[in-house]
Structure 1
Amino acid sequence: GSPFVADRFRHTRDCFGADWGSPSDLLNMTPIKDSKIVYAFHFYEPMSFTHQGADWAGILEQLRDIPYPYDSRRFEFAKQNNRDPKLQYFLQEYEKRKYSKSQLMADLKPALQFRDRYHVPLYCGEFGVYQLRTTQGDRHQWYQDVADLLRQSSVSYAIWEYRGGFGIVPEKGGEMDQAMLKAIGLKSTVKS
């Protein structure tokens, strides 16, 4: 590991909310009076977009073609391809919220409220989009929007994961996704 990282975080501890560690889960916590604790959360909203096709995510494995940001024409196409009655709740929620950067901010708000109420450090320890059934353009836009919101809110973050279905590098190796690097605010590794 990096000596900087090891030294910087040697005496800190992450503390996540209950359940899946979502932003709203933090609101169910009472902070511990300890300056070495960093309160962390995961961000995968909306799950109907970020986890479509994920075989470990139950019924979400069947979802396909959910766009980001919301686009009524593309969403109508998605509804035609997701007719299973068990998927209707996810489709209705997505359509009701019309996911965009502003809706993502609304979903992040509980974590920011927790931080501001208790004056504690906040860290987004995971966020990402499974790439099996998303377009690269939609995926990159979601990452860019979330990373922008986290930076604007002064929240440190880490994506889930470096290599694999959510990653910057394909699971079986290959080149880094340069557009993805840019989307999350990192510099390109390609020399011009």
Structure 2
Amino acid sequence: MADYTLHCFLESGNAYKPALMLQLAGADWDAAFVDFMNGANRSPEFRALNEMGEVPVLIDHTQGDIVISQSGVMLWHLADRFDQFAARNAEEHREVLRWLLWDNHKFTGNLATFRFMHKFMGKGETPEAQFAKARMIQAFKLLNRRLEEREWVAADRVTIADLSLAGYCFWPDHYETDWNDYPNIKAWLGRIEALPNFARPEDILPTSAA
């Protein structure tokens, strides 16, 4: 048995966040496919694993099969073991947490909503989708400004804040975005891609149970 099992599927940027961290850390982990598009996350079996019915779910077999939901919590938990991605002092802890919360509320929160409506539901022109798109663009502008004179978001090196924010950034065509319009984000993503052991979502997340 691997040290970690990540219940996930390819299209989930939130699943890619812990998958990317595990990959970069060289961890011993397996991916367990969740057929989200056909409602597997709503099955009694899956809800017994995660009452929220959300993907991803991480099981840490090194600590008595701890079951963890919510990608930000997974990253925080994994940082205890793979401390190269962790904060190193109180100031960095505050910054990492600040950007994790901002990511979930403003960055991923709006990006993933617009992406789902545009790419998977064909409702990208609805008022609700356009509202999420406008909020997404504002978040892109803020992150681009943040990276104006720095390489990483929360510290002088890559942290779980960067890995969280990058989760949905490798499908720009899914949400009508050209990273050339945000050169600092584009350069930041290049730095992430240059990290040892980096792999794109399609290389490490499953598309079927096979």
TM-score by length of 2: 0.31
Q: Which has the larger radius of gyration?
A: 1
Relative CO higher for 1 or 2, CA cutoff 8 Å, sep ≥ 6?
2
Q: Greater helix percent: which structure?
A: 2
- Normalised to the residue count of structure 1, the TM-score between the two structures is 0.33
